[in-house]
Amino acid sequence: MELREVSTRRDLRRFVAFPDRLYKGCPQYVPAMHSDQMHTLTKDAALEYCIHKMWIVEDGGKVKGRICAMINPRYNERYSKKCVRFGWFDCVEDIAVAKLLLDAAQQWGKSQGMDTIHGPLFFNTLGKQGMLVEGYENVPPFNCIYNYPYYVEFVEKLGFRKECDWVQYRMHSQLGVPDKAKRVAKLVQQRYNLHFGSLDKLKKDKALVRSFFHVYSDSFKDNVYNFIPFTEAEIEQEAKAIVPFINDRNSVVVLDEHENIAAFGICTPSLSKALQKAGGHLFPFGWIHILRAKNDFSLMDLMINGAVPEWQNKGVSAIYYQKMAEKAVQYGYGDSISNPQIESNSAANIWSAYPDHSLYMRRRCYIKEIR
């Protein structure tokens, strides 16, 4: 076996395509769009400040594994750490391959002055993160990692331990919210003179869209574990990616009496089946499957929700949960899957109020000291 740094366009294409071959025949695997991955690994907005290296392991001319090591100086400065992160980690069922890849990431991190490695993570807080440790029988949302169970065995044998877990729940969308939540929503809305804005109108105002993502960043910077506030370039990039999929049928924005954003709830139709049909390629027919999925509400992904810092702990979450429940009935949503939330986050307790909720997936960030 040979470990090789990815240094050419051809190597990068093989790096991106490897999981499609590794997971061929796996009904749970959701392939990422190859063109998106090529762009992300070379031109992502986070690369304005992050550095990274990629490797593949070959055996007999065939790729057997891949990994990307990243250093985010904004993360390290914010949390006073010296961490290298790993992501895009995939390998055949051979711990020797996993060791070659993870050792390469650690040694590069050490050469850059890092003393700890953790992952799977993305460059920033916006991408796929967390190794799947429960829920292997389920199809993940398009923005989440899927991996075989042996990955967990390998990283733990190689000395990695749990840093944190994220959990996701599945529930029926049309059961509504508890009566108590309805009462709270009504009282909070009246007390603070809050009202609902139109996302269809918001999307047409670029300044308001940017304001929304600033609110999004501010909402999480002090409340989400390991969160890294967004740069302007990251906001522009995320807006282009998310805005086409949100509208007044699937998302909510709460405004105060001065028309400023107070809270929001973003939900999108699941793209997982569409991406499976597309097989990682937008053309010739992948775009058709994705276009159709945008109007299929049979399965919904609860992407992000939050409140502006000054509106947190005032009960405004009850308002957008109530409104989303109304939309579920109005537009005939099927089941919904929550976004990954850190297990220690009290906000995750909202799902326990739904009588049919069940744990859908658990994913884990692993950490290890570099020696």
299-343 per-position pLDDT tens digit: 999 988 888 888 888 888 888 888 988 899 889 999 999 989 888
Is pLDDT at 348 greater than 70 in this prediction? no
* The pLDDT value given to residue 349: 64
Taking the C-alpha atoms of residue 90 and residue 136, their distance in angstroms, rounded to an integer, is 15
Coil/strand/helix, residue 307:
strand
Mean per-residue pLDDT over the chain, rounded: 92
Taking the C-alpha atoms of residue 240 and residue 367, their distance in angstroms, rounded to an integer, is 32
Percent of the chain predicted with pLDDT > 90: 67
Cβ pair 133, 363 in contact under 8 A: yes
* The pLDDT value given to residue 347: 61
* The pLDDT value given to residue 357: 83
Taking the C-alpha atoms of residue 82 and residue 106, their distance in angstroms, rounded to an integer, is 12
**Which tokens in the block code for residue 5?**
């740094």
- Using CA atoms in the order 141, 142, 148, 153, what is the torsion angle rounded to 10 degrees? -80
**Which tokens in the block code for residue 6?**
């990815």
Give the least confident one: 32-46, 112-126, 175-189, 233-247: 175-189
Per DSSP, helices labelled H in 80-205 are 95-111, 150-157, 179-192, 199-202
Quote the pTM value.
0.93
Q: What is the pLDDT of residues 254-279, one digit of tens each?
A: 999 998 889 888 899 999 999 999 99
Give the least confident one: 150-154, 221-225, 303-307: 221-225
* The pLDDT value given to residue 321: 84
State mean pLDDT over 279-287. 90
* The pLDDT value given to residue 353: 65
> What count of Cα atoms within 13 Å lies in the side-chain half-sphere of residue 150?
9
Q: What is the pLDDT of residues 36-74, one digit of tens each?
A: 999 999 999 999 999 999 999 999 999 999 999 999 999
Is pLDDT at 242 greater than 90 in this prediction? no
State mean pLDDT over 65-86. 97
Domains of the chain, start order? 2-166 (3.40.630.30), 171-362 (3.40.630.30)
State mean pLDDT over 219-233. 85
* The pLDDT value given to residue 243: 86
Supply the angle between the helices 9-22 and 34-43 in degrees, to the nearest 10.
Answer: 130
CA 40 distance to own-chain centroid: 14
Element at 27 (helix H, strand E): none
pLDDT band at 225 (very low <50, low <70, confident <90, very high): confident
- Using CA atoms in the order 320, 321, 327, 329, what is the torsion angle rounded to 10 degrees? -160
**Which tokens in the block code for residue 56?**
């593949």
